[in-house]
């Protein structure tokens, strides 16, 4: 303070005329008062009107940015979860599809095998039935032949002995005769003819 | 040899040589008028009372410096309040610039040196210091018709000549602000520690075992150191601004007029542009920043436990 006082007393305000520039470093009390007045007024107005509003706006924006970042992170997390879920579902669906195809293939194979087996069985059955029919027919024919032979035999015998045989004799005779005849060859030729 | 074949270095050298040659040629043609005794460059900074006011023996005359002070105050208030009223969520360039400056005062100047309640209490003061000094410095580089001793004729109207002047290039203004700072940080120190403990805290730590005479001697050094802050803080701002304006004045033709060698003007005039860019781009902002930052450091030092 004393230093300033010295300067002030050494170079009084307005004392410096055109000779030199010492007025440049001589403070003027009036100007200092003006400075204080304008500075304090400026500070008062800025403190009341400008700084709080700027701070508020900056805080608001900082909050907005923080919220936006949080929201973005949240949605990113959600979408990642969704993606993971979707991927899992897709994998599951693919597995299911593969499973279905495999199962279809398997059942098709089974059906084919069954059908083949059934066909074979049917054929066998038909063959057996045919064979049975043939055998029955053969047997019937043989019976008929046998009866024909017996009748012819009886007729021939009557003609030979000129008398009719009673039925008991006839029967016994025929049977005796027939037992001696071998029809197996006939049966074989009959089957070949058919 | 075509011009485009020359390297950039050669081109610069050629332009430079041409510039010097042009100045020398002008010097040879016009010669010297001898030293000009009438032109007093310091008078560019002299304050002529525009409106004499005297209250209780104190000269409160309105002059150029008062005009610049009021202009700086009005501009600071207008810009800051205007911006603060239309703070948009998506800022335009002006708002971004002011926000950047606000952030500088808030987080760098205040936040970097003070903390907690002290920072909250002193932020408006520090921010106003920065903005007030910054606007004062910046309008100091706009030519305004304030040079009342000289006048120019524009469309028949006699108006004062345009001149560059800065309120901060006058010692009274930085000194008044420095006094506020000086008193403020002592008051804050006393508030934080109490009168005795505050002055005791001026002593650096580690002197507990020193004899009282030594302590008093160290204390006196600290007293001087605190007093010198009054000069250093104010003169740093004042001298920087005054030197800048004097440089612009001399380069812009003042030197040629002073020495009476008109050709010198051709040599110095381009340099005026370089200095102008330097002053506006760096010094004006830097000095405002330094003033506010040192204030914050002084307050921080005053409330700290020990130096």
pLDDT, tens digit, for every residue of B243-291?
888 888 888 877 777 777 777 777 888 888 888 898 888 888 899 999 9
Whether the pLDDT of residue A178 is over 60: the answer is yes
pLDDT on residue A117: 94
When scoring B40, B75, B77 by the number of chain A Cβ atoms within 10 A, the one with the most, hence best to mutate, is B77
Does residue B50 sit at the A interface (CB-CB below 8 Å)?
no
Interface contact flag, A47 B65, Cβ < 8 Å: no
Of B249, B269, B253, B252, the residue nearest B261 (C-alpha): B253
pLDDT on residue A13: 41
Phi/psi of residue B88, each to 5°? -100, 155
Interface contact flag, B175 A27, Cβ < 8 Å: yes
Contacts of B180 in chain A (CB under 8 A): 36, 39
Q: Pick the residue from chain A with its C-alpha nearest to B64.
A: A31
When scoring A18, A20, A43, A64 by the number of chain B Cβ atoms within 10 A, the one with the most, hence best to mutate, is A43
- CA distances for B66 relative to A133, B130, B306, angstroms: 142, 19, 40
Q: Pick the residue from chain A with its C-alpha nearest to B181.
A: A36
Angle value at C-alpha B22, between B16 and B27, nearest 5 degrees: 130
Contacts of A8 in chain B (CB under 8 A): none
Interface contact flag, A39 B177, Cβ < 8 Å: yes
Q: Give B9-74 as a 3 state SS string.
A: HHHHHHHHHHHHHHHHHHHHHHCCCCCCCCCCHHHHHCCCCCECCEECCEECCECHHHHHHHHHHH
Whether the pLDDT of residue B151 is over 80: the answer is no
pLDDT, tens digit, for every residue of A8-22?
443 444 433 444 667
ipTM of the complex: 0.84
The structural domains of chain A, with segments of one domain joined by +, span 2-193
What value does the mean pLDDT take over residues B152-156? 72
What value does the mean pLDDT take over residues B196-225? 81
When scoring A35, A56, A57 by the number of chain B Cβ atoms within 10 A, the one with the most, hence best to mutate, is A35
- Answer positive or negative: Cα dihedral of A42, A43, A46, A48: negative
Does residue B81 sit at the A interface (CB-CB below 8 Å)?
yes
Does residue B128 sit at the A interface (CB-CB below 8 Å)?
yes
Are residues B34 and B51 in contact, defined by beta-carbon separation less than 8 angstroms? no
Whether the pLDDT of residue A97 is over 70: the answer is yes
In this structure, of A121-125, B100-104, B252-256, the range with the lowest mean pLDDT score is B252-256
Higher pLDDT, B86 or A86: A86
pLDDT on residue A163: 63
pLDDT, tens digit, for every residue of B32-55?
776 767 777 776 777 777 777 777
What value does the mean pLDDT take over residues B42-70? 77
Are residues B91 and B83 in contact, defined by beta-carbon separation less than 8 angstroms? no
Burial (CB < 10 A; 0-12, 13-18, 19+), residue A33, is: middle
Are residues B65 and B173 in contact, defined by beta-carbon separation less than 8 angstroms? yes
Higher pLDDT, A166 or B239: B239
Which stretch, A13-22, A139-148, B196-205, has highest mean pLDDT?
Answer: A139-148
Q: DSSP secondary-structure letter at A164?
A: P
Whether the pLDDT of residue B147 is over 80: the answer is no
Q: What percent of chain A has pLDDT over 70?
A: 79
Whether the pLDDT of residue B20 is over 80: the answer is yes
Whether the pLDDT of residue A114 is over 60: the answer is yes
What value does the mean pLDDT take over residues A164-180? 73
Interface contact flag, B172 A35, Cβ < 8 Å: yes
CB pairs under 8 A between A and B: 138
Interface contact flag, B70 A38, Cβ < 8 Å: yes
pLDDT, tens digit, for every residue of A24-83?
777 888 888 888 999 999 999 988 888 888 888 888 888 988 999 999 999 999 999 999
What value does the mean pLDDT take over residues B216-234? 89
What value does the mean pLDDT take over residues B92-98? 85
Whether the pLDDT of residue A23 is over 80: the answer is no
Q: What percent of chain B has pLDDT over 90?
A: 20
pLDDT band for position A2 (50/70/90)? very low
Q: Pick the residue from chain B with its C-alpha nearest to A25.
A: B171
pLDDT on residue A104: 95
Furthest C-alpha separation in chain A: 201
Of A4, A43, A53, the CB nearest to B230: A4
Does residue B123 sit at the A interface (CB-CB below 8 Å)?
yes
pLDDT on residue A164: 64
Cβ atoms within 10 A of the Cβ of B44, count?
19
What value does the mean pLDDT take over residues B111-125? 86
pLDDT band for position A165 (50/70/90)? low
Which stretch, A8-17, B22-31, B163-172, has highest mean pLDDT?
Answer: B163-172
Cβ atoms within 10 A of the Cβ of A133, count?
10
Contacts of A35 in chain B (CB under 8 A): 69, 167, 172-173, 176-177
What value does the mean pLDDT take over residues B84-113? 85
Whether the pLDDT of residue B207 is over 90: the answer is no
Contacts of A47 in chain B (CB under 8 A): 124, 128
Interface contact flag, A35 B177, Cβ < 8 Å: yes
Interface contact flag, B40 A18, Cβ < 8 Å: yes
pLDDT on residue A3: 46
Of B43, B45, B172, the CB nearest to A27: B172
Whether the pLDDT of residue B82 is over 60: the answer is yes
pLDDT on residue A7: 41
Residue B48, CA atoms < 13 Å, CB-side half-sphere: 10
**Mean pLDDT, rounded, of chain B:** 83
């Amino acid at each position: 303070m004393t230093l300033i006082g010295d300067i002030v007393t050494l170079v009084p305000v307005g004392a410096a005329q055109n000779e030199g520039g010492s007025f440049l470093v001589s403070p003027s009390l009036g100007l200092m008062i003006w400075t204080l007045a304008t500075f304090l007024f400026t500070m008062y107005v800025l403190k009341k009107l400008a700084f709080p509003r700027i701070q508020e706006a900056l805080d608001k924006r900082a909050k907005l940015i923080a919220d936006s970042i949080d929201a973005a992170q949240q949605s990113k997390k959600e979408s990642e979860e969704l993606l993971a879920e979707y991927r899992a579902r897709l994998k599951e669906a693919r597995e299911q599809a593969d499973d279905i195809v495999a199962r279809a293939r398997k059942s098709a194979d089974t059906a084919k095998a069954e059908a083949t087996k059934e066909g074979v069985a049917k054929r066998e059955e038909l063959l057996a039935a045919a064979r049975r029919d043939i055998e029955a027919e053969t047997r019937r024919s043989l019976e008929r032949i046998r009866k024909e032979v017996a009748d012819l035999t009886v007729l021939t015998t009557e003609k030979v002995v000129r008398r009719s045989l009673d039925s008991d004799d006839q029967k016994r005779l025929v049977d005796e005769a027939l037992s001696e005849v071998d029809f197996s060859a006939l049966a074989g030729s009959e089957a070949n003819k058919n | 040899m075509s011009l485009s074949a020359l390297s950039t270095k050669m081109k610069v050298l050629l332009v430079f040589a041409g510039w010097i040659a042009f100045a020398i040629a002008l010097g040879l043609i016009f010669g010297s008028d001898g030293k000009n005794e009438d032109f007093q460059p310091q008078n560019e900074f002299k304050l002529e009372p525009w409106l004499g006011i005297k209250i209780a023996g104190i000269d409160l005359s309105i002059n150029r410096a008062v005009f610049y002070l009021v202009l700086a105050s009005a501009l600071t208030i207008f810009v800051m309040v205007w911006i603060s009223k239309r703070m948009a969520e998506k800022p335009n360039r002006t708002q971004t610039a002011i926000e950047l400056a606000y952030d500088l005062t808030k987080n760098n100047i205040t936040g970097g040196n003070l903390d907690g309640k002290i920072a909250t209490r002193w932020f408006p003061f520090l921010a106003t210091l920065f903005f007030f000094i910054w606007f004062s410095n910046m309008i100091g580089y706009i030519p305004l018709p304030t040079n009342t001793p000289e006048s120019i004729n524009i469309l028949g109207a006699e108006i004062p000549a345009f001149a560059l002047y800065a309120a901060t290039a006058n010692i009274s203004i930085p000194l008044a602000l420095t006094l506020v700072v000086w008193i403020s940080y002592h008051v804050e120190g006393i508030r934080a520690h109490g009168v005795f403990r505050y002055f005791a805290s001026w002593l650096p730590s580690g002197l507990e075992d020193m004899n009282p005479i030594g302590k008093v001697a160290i204390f006196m050094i600290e007293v001087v150191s605190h007093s010198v802050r009054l000069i250093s803080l104010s003169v740093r701002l004042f001298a920087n601004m005054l030197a800048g304006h004097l440089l612009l004045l001399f380069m812009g033709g003042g030197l040629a007029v002073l020495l009476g060698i008109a050709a010198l003007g051709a040599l110095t005039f381009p340099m005026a542009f370089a200095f102008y860019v330097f002053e506006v781009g760096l010094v004006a902002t830097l000095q405002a920043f330094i003033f506010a930052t040192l204030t914050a450091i002084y307050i921080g030092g005053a409330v700290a436990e020990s130096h």
